[in-house]
Amino acid sequence: MAKVNTIGILTSGGDSPGMNAAIRAVTRSAIFNGFQVKGIYRGYTGLINDEVKDFTTESVSNIIQTGGTILRTSRCKEFMTPEGLQKAYDTLQKEKIDALIVIGGNGSLAGASKFAEAYDVPCIGLPGTIDNDLYGTDVTIGYDTTLNTITQCVDKIRDTATSHERIFFVEVMGRDAGFLAQNSAIASGAEAAIIPEDSTDEDQLMKFMARGIRKSKHSCIVIVSENPNGHGAMYYADRVRKEYEGYDVRVSILGHLQRGGSPSARDRIFASQVGVGAINALLEGQRNVMVGIKNDEIVYVPLKSAIGKRKPIDRQLIRVLDELSI
């Protein structure tokens, strides 16, 4: 592998709390180890359009506590075309960038993997997504903060649910993974979680209604993971209204407030660890891997595995919620 002198860093896809902590860690660790660093603004769009700026340690001062990403972000369909990949490579050549560090989720790391295959450029991925759905790492950047945000919101919703004796279906993010829904349900004392990894058919709702409401409870919270097929919180609320008369049903879709806010201490620490880990990966000659943490140890996961394998949910957590929601 050719010697790496200059590292480019970008954030792509949906923002997540802790991305700035990762940008800071990558930049400072890279400079500490003798590399030059260039920040690429607006994700792959900025890479195509040459929106690149030299970074110093001062460039990342006072950002560890901030949400969002100072590099901005975008979703770029053009990057996945041969023409887009060529433009991105031309920018790397022009800016003399030898390696690329990409902070993002499934789609972002898929782009990095495709770029690395098309052109012989070392790419290192950092798991930046609130969904916690990347294979090979126990957690992802932003997941802990978002989990806490959801829990705080549900705590407030429960006050109203109890006061008015209502059923609340609360929809949370997660793409096609139920980590946020399942664990926020446990943390907030919700009566049920409807997640992609578990059956979301009619029987699940019937079981919940029979056990959670008809026995003794006059109000309850159900956390529903967003669903691209339309089986989200509105769908289940409508079913209750039609199939179970006499219940006051409400829906709360938490939306983008889940992405914002100052990152938790845990997210700041994790982002810092994997940020330094990305530079260590390059020093060790690693390429086309995602840096994660497994059992408190830094791990290098091939990009194709990180995006291609489905991360399993802990079935014991489903049983925990099931037992505690009686």
Residues labelled as active-site residues: 131
- Say how many Å lie between the first and final Cα of the chain, rounded: 58
Rounded to whole angstroms, how far apart are CA atoms 222 and 214? 15
Rounded to whole angstroms, how far apart are CA atoms 195 and 183? 11
Amino acid at the residue 5: N
Beta bridge partners of 253: 171
Please list, in sequence order, all residues whose beta carbon lies within 8 angstroms of the beta carbon of residue 299, skipping any fewer than 6 positions away: 136, 137, 291, 292, 293
Q: Are 113 and 141 in contact (CB under 8 A)?
A: no
Instruction: For residue 95, give the nearest of 171, 5, 172 by alpha carbon.
Output: 5
**Edge-to-edge order in the sheet of strand 99-104:** 52-55, 36-40, 6-11, 99-104, 123-127, 289-294, 297-302
3-state class of 222 per DSSP? strand
Instruction: For residue 272, give the nearest of 24, 47, 97 by alpha carbon.
Output: 24
